[in-house]
Amino acid sequence: MSCESCWDGYGASRPASVAIKFLVNSLKLSSSMEPKDSNEDDARAALTESECQDLIASKVWTVNTEWSREAEKLRQLAALDPSALSSEKVVKRTLRHLRLEDMQITEIDVGVSEYNEMEELILTGNYLRTVEPRCLPKQLKVLELCCNKIECLSALDTSPPALLQHLGASYNLLTEVVMTPSNWSSLLSLDLSYNKLQDLPGIIKILSQIPHLKSLVMMGNPLAMVTCYFSYVIDSLPGLISFDDCEVTVKEKQLVGGIRKHCEKKPELLKSARIELKVDSITGLPQIQCEVLKSNVYG
């Protein structure tokens, strides 16, 4: 089944809960593969456990299970009992990790919050513009929103999942960071890379109050062009162990010690930018210029 068929009849609104049901239904046996009861031609009998394993091992029933760590378990349930996946309780109790990537999703609807055991939700490459916290599972620990169209995190900030440890919001349209530190007490990792963030001191002031932040990524933003960008961030956030996908060592922290206070005394340092351009080779220069250069050097 293609992703397009998932949205037949849905128009512009494409809820995440529909995408989940689409993926779950893709695990079901087609009618041509389901065994028939010997007494009733129209009855669909379940496979024995041995037959289930044989079918899964064969190439006859090949389905995509990469969208969840629990998809294979659901697939086996579908083989043992064709009606198992019709029970929403079973599905919602089983799914803990979910990847809804490139599925044209426009909203995280309230139906997603009913997956009470969900710990990881990856929504990379969709059309999300905002995230309502009431629509997220309470047990969520990882939320990945990379490559969407989100301009602000203010809605999510009102009441993010209490257990959330990682928030990924890279490759969006963020121009500011709206985060109430007390609402993010469990956050360990934050990815804000490749957005439109410019206010380095303002953003660092907010992030410095998030109590357990250990990993931060902000490269690819205009603020990353500030001359003392790396040193300023490391000195301002002493709890970091990883910054811009690089390990932060004790030695590095010692070397940049005092940079933050120095920048506070001279705020113009945070307004100057640095651009590095490395040219490995140049080809296509006119030969006559090379000859002139040689004559100047050697006389």
| 245, pLDDT greater than 70 | yes
Mean pLDDT to the nearest integer, 232-242: 95
Structure tokens at 224: 């990353």
Residue 35 pLDDT > 80: no
pLDDT tier at 269, thresholds 50, 70, 90? low
- Tell me the average pLDDT of the chain: 84
DSSP bridge pairs for 121: 98, 143
Of 92, 128, 94, 143, the closest CA to residue 113 belongs to 92
Query: How far is the C-alpha of 140 from the C-alpha of 132, rounded, in Å?
Result: 14
Does the pLDDT value for residue 38 go beyond 90?
A: no
CA–CA separation, 119 and 268 (whole Å):
44
Looking at residue 191, the DSSP 8-state letter turns out to be E
pLDDT at 231 over 70: yes
Which H or E element spans position 216?
strand 215-217
Give CA–CA dist 14/11, Å, rounded.
7
Q: How confident is the model at residue 44 (pLDDT cuts 50, 70, 90)?
A: very low
Question: How far is residue 180's CA from residue 182's CA, in Å, rounded to a whole number?
Answer: 6
**Of the given ranges (77-86, 117-126, 209-218), which has the lowest mean pLDDT?**
77-86
- Identify the H or E element spanning 97: strand 97-99
Q: Using the predicted structure, report yes or no on whether residue 26 has a pLDDT greater than 70.
A: yes
pLDDT in tens, 157-187: 999 999 999 999 999 999 999 999 999 999 9
pLDDT at residue 228 greater than cutoff 80: yes
β-strand partners of 36 = 44
What pLDDT, in 10s, does the model give residues 89-102? 999 999 999 999 99
Q: What is the pLDDT of residue 142?
A: 98
Could you tell me the pTM of the whole model? Answer: 0.81
Place of tokens 């849905």: 10
Instruction: Of 112, 77, 66, 70, give the one whose Cα is nearest residue 94.
Output: 70
What does the angle CA 158 – CA 141 – CA 134 come to, to the nearest 5 degrees? Answer: 35
